[in-house]
A = this chain, B = another copy of it.
């Protein structure tokens, strides 16, 4: 295969329906994501680096064995930080040097295994995370290749990858890692270096999986997707992050090898997962016990796990499927997930994080501790750092590379997938996108540069516009309704030409599929791509959100400061000695009508301890 090291992107398929644009081709210039990215660059990256030093995870690479700190996968968080730094245009040669010093001559690199006094190499594929750690190392290495060209980190990564091929190739250890991640990383390294052997190794790992090579344990083999071969599975299952990273790797392998069957299998899994196992926010995974998907339609809001890393992984998967197929449905899910999970995870100041993203918080809890490691991945608490701290650096790398998710090109023209105030420059085309999306639904695309032959400008019309009317205003001012999917204008564009997309962002009620038992009899409010919630700080008289009832006979309306006001009431049920009674006695008393203030879900928990809920019971009794 041919090396493609020029595109400054996380994913560079050598063949696919759409070609991604690099960080040097797309610049976010203002609005929602510019603010988030600014916080990431000025606060989050340093915050992660500081904590990683404080808890000793960077130090592990130079520390004596007996002083190693953190869980078995702590190395990976250092690598994710380096990846985030690379995409952000920074980097750390100091950390890189320390990592280099810990690499064995044969390429092996891990601070938890394979040294005297530790467990032997690859003696615990189920839980050891050695290949998982390489995966993140390799992704960091690829980011370096693509942002700075060759460098020490890239060399470390490639040595590790060579070691993996030598050790786990045909005739070597016939195993897979308990936590997928190496697969997608190896394909990307193959793309960045042109070395076929990395792709072959990734394909081998995908093929080996699902055949019971990993031990059956408390959570069963589905936990690490070793229950069914990838191409036979019909839905994502088990540990959500593992399932999504594996699916991303399978798409990469399918695309590079032209394996349509494998690609179709992942698309089928994605479809069923989206239809039956995904929260309104785009969040995935409903079990706290094993961080896994539940059965179909098991989506309890108050026990939503919806791990931040699963959201990051879901965006990674959707992006790969979008490039492979060109279908806007994948960008729809990515948008939902970015605005409602990834953006929710991070506090306004960029220094604390949700690990799990609950959709219903019942107790106010206490003021979060800002200077201690949280021993728990609690839904209720943004914490500065966790004992298992995979999420902060995963958010950081996602925000750093976010511009790469906005647009793509193909032989016909340019496609806009996500909307942000931005500048796009690719070949003979330059675009200026002006918008205050998602606060406002108007997206104006001005042509700054264009070839003098016709080409196609495609704009995603989000699926959330269904039932309302989106409109496209052409260069000549003609205006037409556009259905969810893709709106395309094909013409000879001239500099100064403007295309305008008008998306109906007015707040709307959303109801759940009747099979989602946990939210029967409730509705949510969505405004554009944003899911809204009731938060106790906005309720009068110190009331809690479980008193909220809304009336869907009337419509929610925009309020001041990005709020929405929903028609409803605050009504507390009677306390009973036993909470089960004949149905006619089990209702809630009526209460005075009032507007209920709702705020974007991604903004909650920034104003002190509160209760919160996304799904609101209706006044219908």
A577-B275 contact, Cβ under 8 Å, with A376-B218, A517-B518? yes
Q: Interface 1/0s, chain A 576-600, versus B by CB < 8 A?
A: 1111111111111000000000000
Find out whether the CB atom of B300 lies under 8 angstroms from the CB atom of A216.
no
* A 607-621 to B, binary, CB cutoff 8 A, 1 in contact else 0: 000000001010000
Asked if A456 is an interface residue, CB under 8 A from chain B, the answer is no
List of B residues within 8 angstroms of A617 by Cβ? 514, 517, 520
Residues of A near any B CB (own CB < 8 A): 216-220, 271, 274-276, 278, 280, 287-289, 294-298, 300-303, 329, 360, 362-363, 375-376, 387, 463, 466-467, 508-524, 546, 552, 573, 575-588, 615, 617
The 8 A-B residue pairs whose C-beta atoms are closest, nearest first, are A511-B583, A513-B579, A511-B586, A521-B521, A520-B521, A288-B289, A289-B289, A295-B362
Q: How distant is the Cα of A40 from the Cα of B580 in the complex, in angstroms?
A: 32
A620 CA / B359 CA spacing, docked (Å):
26
Selected contact of A518 from candidates B375, B466, B509, B518, CB within 8 Å: B518
- Expressed in whole angstroms, the minimum distance between the Cβ of A578 and any Cβ of chain B is 6
Residues of B within 8 A of A584 (CB): 511
With both chains docked as a complex, state the minimum distance between the C-beta of A543 and any C-beta of chain B, in angstroms. 14
A23 CB, min distance to chain B CBs, angstroms: 31
The answer to whether residues A376 and B219 also contact, given A280-B580, A581-B511 and a CB cut-off of 8 A, is yes
**Residue among B276, B300, B580 making CB contact with A579, cutoff 8 Å:** B276
Residues of B within 8 A of A289 (CB): 287-289
Candidates B375, B520, B524, B577; contact of A520 at CB < 8 Å: B520
Indicate if the CB atoms of B519 and A517 lie closer than 8 Å.
yes
Contact B295 A582 (CB under 8 A): no
Contacting pair A509 B546 (CB below 8 A)? no
Is A511 within 8 A of B580, CB to CB? yes
What are 23 A-B contacts defined by CB distance under 8 Å? A219-B376, A220-B376, A271-B577, A274-B578, A275-B576, A275-B577, A278-B579, A287-B289, A295-B363, A296-B362, A300-B300, A300-B303, A510-B583, A511-B580, A511-B582, A511-B583, A511-B584, A514-B587, A517-B518, A517-B519, A517-B615, A520-B520, A524-B580
Q: Are A578 and B288 in contact (CB under 8 A)?
A: no
In the complex, besides A296-B362, A511-B582, 18 extra interface pairs with C-beta distance below 8 angstroms are: A216-B375, A218-B376, A219-B376, A220-B376, A276-B579, A287-B288, A288-B289, A297-B579, A302-B517, A510-B580, A513-B580, A513-B586, A514-B588, A514-B617, A515-B579, A517-B522, A517-B617, A523-B583
**B520 near A522: Cβ-Cβ < 8 Å:** yes
Chain B residues in 8 Å Cβ range of A579? 275-276, 278, 297, 512-513, 515-516
Kindly list chain B residues whose C-beta atoms are within 8 Å of the C-beta of A615.
517
Contact residues in B for A587 (Cβ distance below 8 Å): 514
Query: A287, A303, A617 — which one has the most chain B CB atoms within 10 A of its CB?
Result: A303
Tell me the smallest distance from the CB of A383 to a CB of chain B, in Å: 13
Q: Which residues of B contact A387 (CB under 8 A)?
A: 218
Most B CB within 10 A of own CB, among A509, A517, A546: A517
Question: Which residue in chain B gives the minimum CB-CB distance to A288?
Answer: B289
- How far is the CB of A80 from the nearest CB of chain B, in Å? 22
Q: Which residues of B contact A586 (CB under 8 A)?
A: 511-514
Cα-based distance from A617 to B302 in the complex (angstroms): 20
The residues of B that contact A524 with a CB separation of less than 8 Å are 580
Query: A298, A511, A587 — which one has the most chain B CB atoms within 10 A of its CB?
Result: A511
Residues of B with C-beta under 8 A to A329: 577
For residue A288, which residues in chain B have a CB less than 8 angstroms away from its CB? 287-289
Whether A582 contacts B514 by the Cβ 8 Å rule is: no
CA gap between A298 and B510 in the complex, in Å: 23
Inter-chain contact B275/A580, CB cutoff 8 Å? no
A375 touches B510 (CB 8 A): no
A295 and B302 contacting across the interface, CB-CB below 8 Å: yes
Q: Which residues of B contact A575 (CB under 8 A)?
A: 275
Chain B residues in 8 Å Cβ range of A376: 218-220
Assembly CA distance A274 to B575 (angstroms): 12
Identify which of A514, A584, A587 gathers the most chain B CB atoms within 10 Å of its CB.
Answer: A514
A71 to chain B, nearest CB (A): 12
Assembled-state Cα–Cα distance A510/B581 (Å): 5
* Interchain CA distance A611-B11 in the complex, whole Å: 43
| Bound CA–CA A520/B587 (angstroms) | 10
- Indicate whether A577 sits within 8 Å of B296 (C-beta atoms), given known contacts A467-B582, A522-B517, A582-B509: no
On whether the beta carbons of A583 and B509 are closer than 8 Å, the reply is: yes
In the bound complex, CA of A511 to CA of B520 (Å): 14
A326 CB to nearest B CB, Å: 17
